[in-house]
Structure 1
Amino acid sequence: MQKILKRFERVVVLTLLVFMMIAVFVATVEVGVILWQQLKEPPVMLLNVKEMMEVFGFILMVVIGLELLETIKAYLDKKVVHVEVVLLVAVVAVARKIIILDYYEVSPQMLYAVSALVVSLAAGFFIVRRALEPKSEKNTKE
């Protein structure tokens, strides 16, 4: 029974890996198409701030996909979910949201919530990173 579960888990993870590869590829092509469409509209080869934010948002979405792909690969190889990578993906996702946010249409409560989320994720990333440091590096720094 254990062998069947391990095979099933491996098939599911490999399927997710293939799906993520397809999604990242499609998102990359979409970034190219969007950038090309934005650049060919008048004024040609120039982007306004809104268009640049849209392109940056899509580029960061591809980066998030790549990080998730890395997480799935790590799970497949070592059967371990790297908390550090998951936190990094969350930080990039929140950064993407901050970049594409229209500050004129967002309530102050939403801005407070996003800033609390950024601080929490940064603190969590710092704590996890510090905990994962090899002991020899900790001793040499002191």
Structure 2
Amino acid sequence: MRAESTMLEYIEKFEKIIYAAIIVMLMVVLVAAMFDLVVLLVKFLWEESPLLLEAKEMIALLGAFLLVLIGVELLDTIKAYFKENTIHVEIVVLLAIIAVSRKVLLIDPTGMTAFDYGFELISIGVIIIGLSAGYYLIKKAGIVISPDGIKKAE
């Protein structure tokens, strides 16, 4: 019995190390994404068309902003698991909604047939409806997943 508990302690420590490494790497990625966003903003506002953004530039900037937002939310999710040993399902579903929204903003219909473009939009719509329904149900139920199992948040 003692060997099992010792092994479980080692596994938990190993998991903590992995999560800490993921947090550090994600922080590096977030700094790079922020730098890219600043460079993009400066380039569009002062070099391309001074103080006037065109539609493609605005879409690129919004995509970069959402990418940073996705990274911050992912960091928050990993941090919450690292601290509390629970997965906040609500944050994960919200992260998926933001990622799909980014995809909608960045979709480029050039080079697609009308059928392919329509099919992609319908598919994205179905995903958004499913994620929104899941988010609503999770919010209503207050579900949290922990190592002890699925339970209702207090």
TM-score under structure 2 normalisation? 0.82
State the 1:40 CA deviation. Answer: 2.3
User: Which residue does 1:96 correspond to in 2?
Assistant: 102
SS of equivalent to 2:49:
coil
Q: Distance in 1 between matches of 2:120 and 2:8?
A: 47
Amino acid at match of 1:61: L
Task: Name the structure with the higher strand share.
Answer: 2
Q: Distance in 1 between matches of 2:49 and 2:131?
A: 40
State the 1:100 CA deviation. Answer: 1.7
User: Which residue does 1:119 correspond to in 2?
Assistant: 129
Displacement over 4 Å in runs of 4+: 103-106
SS of equivalent to 1:107:
helix
1:130 aligned to which of 140, 143, 147 = 140
Report sequence identity in percent.
Answer: 33
State the 1:63 CA deviation. Answer: 0.2
In 2 relative to 1, CA 85–42 (structure 1 residues): closer, same or farther, beyond 3 Å? closer
State the 1:41 CA deviation. Answer: 2.5
1:19 aligned to which of 7, 15, 25 = 25
Amino acid at match of 2:35: V
2:52 aligned to which of 46, 49, 68 = 46
Amino acid at match of 1:132: G
RMSD (Å), alpha carbons:
1.4
Count the aligned residue pairs. Answer: 133
State the 1:81 CA deviation. Answer: 1.1
User: Which residue does 1:30 correspond to in 2?
Assistant: 36
Q: Distance in 2 between matches of 1:68 and 1:114?
A: 21
1:82 aligned to which of 82, 85, 88 = 88
Deviations 1:35-92 (A, max 9, x none): 1111223432211000010010000000000000000001001111111000000000
- Does residue 1:5 correspond to 2:11, yes or no? yes
Amino acid at match of 1:94: V
SS of equivalent to 2:51:
coil
Gaps (5+ residues) in structure 1? 134-142
Q: Distance in 2 between matches of 1:21 and 1:69?
A: 8
State the 1:25 CA deviation. Answer: 1.2
Gaps (5+ residues) in structure 2? 1-6, 144-154
